[in-house]
């Protein structure tokens, strides 16, 4: 079974590895769409801290990940699901309900987010250090 998931994975943290490991356990092959720098700017209104190529390098180095590609647009999910022959789409539950319309192409599963950690919070904490 092929599993697909998407994310920016900026300032890589334990919440990211938790969802990737949980996703990988659902099947035999985990494919990850890493948001381009430009897509991150349009989604979050800021540049990512880590550049696209570095985020791709980090995700590609994980033993639970089999293939990585650049997610250029949120609108291309159906194409990516078909191209990578995904049987299951996994996302964190901050996206709950947002991808249900892909259930005609593959199973859609939302995992609970890891509590108390996010890239945004890490950035705020680092900024506040004097």
Query: Where on the chain is the footprint of ligand C2G (CB under 6 A)?
Result: 6-10, 15-16, 19, 35, 43, 71, 74, 91-92, 94, 113-114, 117-118
Q: What is the DSSP string of the chain?
A: -EEEEEE---S--HHHHHHHHHHHHTSSEEEEEEEPHHHHHHHHSS--SS-HHHHHHHHHT-TT--EEEEE--GGGHHHHHHHTT-SEEEEEGGGTTTTGGGGGTSEEEEEPPPTT--HHHHHHHHHH--
Question: Going by DSSP bridges, is the β-strand pair 2-7/88-92 parallel, antiparallel, or unpaired?
Answer: parallel
Nearer to ligand C2G, 118 or 123 (CB): 118
Nearer to ligand C2G, 45 or 63 (CB): 45
Beta bridge mates, 90:
5, 109
In the complex, what is the shortest distance from the CB of residue 59 to ligand C2G, in angstroms, rounded to a whole number?
A: 10
Nearer to ligand C2G, 16 or 68 (CB): 16
Nearer to ligand C2G, 90 or 130 (CB): 90
In the complex, what is the shortest distance from the CB of residue 130 to ligand C2G, in angstroms, rounded to a whole number?
A: 26
In the complex, what is the shortest distance from the CB of residue 37 to ligand C2G, in angstroms, rounded to a whole number?
A: 12
In the complex, what is the shortest distance from the CB of residue 98 to ligand C2G, in angstroms, rounded to a whole number?
A: 8
**Residue of minimal CB distance from ligand C2G?**
92
């Amino acid at each position: 079974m092929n599993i697909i998931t998407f994310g920016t994975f900026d300032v890589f943290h334990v919440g990211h590895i938790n969802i990737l490991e949980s996703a990988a356990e659902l099947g035999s092959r985990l494919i990850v769409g890493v948001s381009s720098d430009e897509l991150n700017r349009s989604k979050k209104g800021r540049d990512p801290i880590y550049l696209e190529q570095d985020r791709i390098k980090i995700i590609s180095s994980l033993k639970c990940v089999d293939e990585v590609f650049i997610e250029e647009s949120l609108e291309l999910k159906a194409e990516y699901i078909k191209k990578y022959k995904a049987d299951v789409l996994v996302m964190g539950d901050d996206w709950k309900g947002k991808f249900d319309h892909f259930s005609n192409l593959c199973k859609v599963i939302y995992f609970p987010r890891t509590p108390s950690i996010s890239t945004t919070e890490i950035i705020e904490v680092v900024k506040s250090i004097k």
